[in-house]
Structure 1
Amino acid sequence: MIGIIVGALGRLVLPGRQHIGVLWTVLVGIAAAFLGAAIAAGLGVADSKGIDWIEWLLQIGLAVVGIAALTCVKSRR
């Protein structure tokens, strides 16, 4: 579920049209969620009282980078 949300928010933040499907968006979102959570835990900002905004921003930022990279790779084909 978190992968869908992170991937969708990543696509919304990224300007322009992305020529990738929903499945790729979800997969990038899942990867970004795991990697963002690991980075946040490493930085010590993953556990707070309430919403972990820094962790969310890391995850969405990684999703934006992943979707942009995947769009670039798929557009070259």
Structure 2
Amino acid sequence: MTITGIISALLVGLLIGALGRLVVPGKQRIPIWLTIVIGIVAAFVGSYLAGLFGYRNSGGGFPWLLLVIQVAVAAVGVVLAAGAYGRRHRGMLRR
């Protein structure tokens, strides 16, 4: 993978992860690096799921449905990560 591909993956991951965080109500106490990782994974998983359901952007243009699927996957990932990350660190503060 080229440096341009890596930078593109990071930017897309940040965008998808940030949109996923915006969809989830309340405050999520997860670091930005975890948001980026969730966004990158959600972009791949969302693309895979869209392909499974037969989505093809054959008309060209911006793939809105693909973006919605990716953001939904990112929102689920943010909820799961916020629950796991928050529980783990809350227990450490009580000691």
Shorter-chain TM range is over 0.9
What runs of 5+ residues in structure 1 fail to find an aligned partner?
A: none
**Residues in 2 aligned to 1:47 and 1:41: alpha-carbon distance in whole angstroms:** 10
Identity of matched residues, %: 39
What runs of 5+ residues in structure 2 fail to find an aligned partner?
A: 1-10, 89-95
Aligned-pair Cα RMSD in Å: 1.0
| Larger Rg computed on CA atoms | 2
**Aligned partner letter, 1:41:** G
Number of residue pairs matched? 77
Instruction: Report the TM-score when normalising by structure 1.
Output: 0.92
Instruction: Report the TM-score when normalising by structure 2.
Output: 0.76
Aligned positions of 1:28-47 closer than 5 A: 28-47=38-57
Answer yes or no: is the 8 Å Cα contact 1:45–1:52 preserved in 2. no
**Residues in 1 aligned to 2:53 and 2:68: alpha-carbon distance in whole angstroms:** 13
Give 4+ residue runs of structure 1 displaced > 6 Å after superposition: none
Does the alignment pair 1:70 with 2:87?
no
